[in-house]
Structure 1
Amino acid sequence: MWPAMRLIRRQLSSVARGLVYEKHGEPSQVLRLQRLEVASPTDYEVKVKMLAAPINPSDLNMIQGTYALLPQLPAVGGNEGVGVVAAVGRHVSSVRPGDWVIPVDAGLGTWRTEGIFRESALVRVPSDISIEGAATLSVNPCTAYRLLSDYETLRPGDSVIQNASNSGVGQAVIQIAESLGITTINIVRDRQDSSEPGAETS
């Protein structure tokens, strides 16, 4: 009976791959591609197959140990990304197989092919947007929105000026501001010669 039970358990599990770090340090030195066992989801768990996950400076800072939020070690790298729900636990109600989901908070560990996550750690997003857009939705656009809304009450016709506007956050600021009727004055970093930054207005 015991061998049969062990066989059933193995059949319910799958093997994923993930970029894992067991100590803080430079990513090139501490990250290791490892095999990760992924069991079937239970109760409020969701099994997610990752579609895409970007690399942000915050991801690298977290691995280095210099970020404000640090996960328990060992940890899988990656704070942002999009995945498709492969299976759900019996009490999960907010998502179902086939839905696209992104992390609610940082530290989820998105640099993996597949994983089991709490339902509360995920939010569903439309699947008719680009994979790249969905995978980069939860960090830079949110930061850009808060930059435009937390410090001043901006109205259509107002103008804002920002530096580093060719960054991910800067590009999101431009797009969100345009949708609100706000003009942006954008200082861009000249990557050819960083000592002489250019400027542009949109």
Structure 2
Amino acid sequence: MRRLLLTAFGEAAKVVRLDTTAAQPLSSDDLLIRMEAAPINRSDFMLIEGKYGVRPSFPYNLGSEGVGKVVAAGERGRSLEGKRVLILPTYEQGTWAEETIVDRKNVVEVSDTADPVQLAMLGINPATAYLLLKQYTHLMPGDWIGQTAANAAMGQYIIQLAKLAGLKTLNVVRRPEAADAVRTFGGDVVVLQGDGLKQDIEAALGSNRLSIAFDTVGGEPIGTLLQFVRDGGIGVGYGLQSGVFPRINPVDMYFRSLSFHGFWLINWIRNAPRHELKWTYQHLASLVAEGKLFAEVQKTYTLDQFQNAIADAQSAERSGKIVFRF
């Protein structure tokens, strides 16, 4: 079977190679999965560059999430043979591969009729969006939430799940064309990051206040957004695209009792009860099957085209996800 391997930490174009390996024997808990689709995420590049919370030994089979069909199984996984499964992003197996061996504890059975490309993206972003909305505060219909980088796939998922819950979204983006895109997929209010951000948020919200704010950028924008979170409210960071730690005014933290949390999905995957993992992912998969949860996909590639896929996924101007299709 063919797969993409990481040979060392560094620039993806230089340290990722296409490899062919013979099939390995299966242990009693192993599943052999023929991959259908697997996305490329920002976290994959962080891992490749040696900047992620997971630091594998080399060579390492790349790809953090995806979906496929179980074509063979060890003794304890026979009930899953022939089933479509979502591979959880535990980083114990790779998904940028034609076939991959996965421990049965790292999969969840999902719909056999939904679009596999959309299902393949469930492991990280939709699960993160769902948990951000559920874990930190009790949100009620009509409440406002705020987020940075709202045009990214995560932003799309947050907006979709918020609308299903009756929540209002204030969305910060960096470019006017990104603002148009966010309005198209349902953002209630969109404001541009920059010198006028505070005034634009103030004009957009009026007397309303945010219950919670989500950030994946770092630096100034989340600090500004937190000024409009209600007293005792919450901020959550799940990424750091700028490389700059969030600049939060101590006045907001001390005198208004705001709290700021860091979120990493893998901690939830490691610690959540199995029934909670299964329910969450199958619930999200049902929303995909109903057409209520999706992300824009710019292009799909084969493994042979991995260099073009990597280049496209790293482009700041792309308008959707890049996905390997098998």
Aligned residue among 145, 150, 153 for 2:130: 145
- The equivalent of 1:72 in structure 2 is 57
- Unaligned 5+ segments in structure 2 are 189-326
Normalized per residue, which structure has more helix?
2
Aligned equivalents of 1:163 and 1:77: distance in 2? Answer: 28
Letter in 2 for 1:74: P
Whether the 8 Å contact between 2:35 and 2:95 is mirrored in structure 1 is: yes
How does 1:1-202 map onto structure 2 within 5 Å?
16-92=1-77, 95-107=79-91, 108-190=93-175, 200=183, 201-202=187-188
Deviations 1:176-199 (A, max 9, x none): 11111111122233276x9xx677
Structure 1 runs (4+) deviating above 6 angstroms are none
Aligned equivalents of 1:58 and 1:191: distance in 2? Answer: 26
Cα 1:106–1:42 change in 2 (3 A) is: closer
- Unaligned 5+ segments in structure 1 are 1-15
Letter in 2 for 1:98: G
Aligned equivalents of 2:112 and 2:156: distance in 1? Answer: 22
Cα 1:89–1:181 change in 2 (3 A) is: same
Aligned equivalents of 1:40 and 1:106: distance in 2? Answer: 21
Q: Does the residue aligned with 1:37 lie in a helix, a strand or coil?
A: coil
Aligned equivalents of 2:150 and 2:163: distance in 1? Answer: 14
Q: What is the aligned residue count?
A: 183
Q: CA deviation at 1:124?
A: 1.2
Aligned equivalents of 2:8 and 2:58: distance in 1? Answer: 7
Whether the 8 Å contact between 2:148 and 2:171 is mirrored in structure 1 is: yes
Aligned equivalents of 2:130 and 2:31: distance in 1? Answer: 29
Letter in 2 for 1:113: E
Percent of pairs with identical residues? 35
Letter in 1 for 2:67: V
Letter in 1 for 2:129: A
Q: Normalising by the residue count of structure 1, what TM-score does the alignment of the two structures yield?
A: 0.83
- The equivalent of 1:9 in structure 2 is none
Deviations 1:102-122 (A, max 9, x none): 222331211110022211122
Q: Over aligned residues, Cα RMSD in angstroms? A: 1.9
Q: Normalising by the residue count of structure 2, what TM-score does the alignment of the two structures yield?
A: 0.53
Whether the 8 Å contact between 2:90 and 2:106 is mirrored in structure 1 is: no
Q: CA deviation at 1:34?
A: 0.5
Letter in 2 for 1:117: V
Aligned equivalents of 2:85 and 2:144: distance in 1? Answer: 34
Cα 1:115–1:191 change in 2 (3 A) is: farther
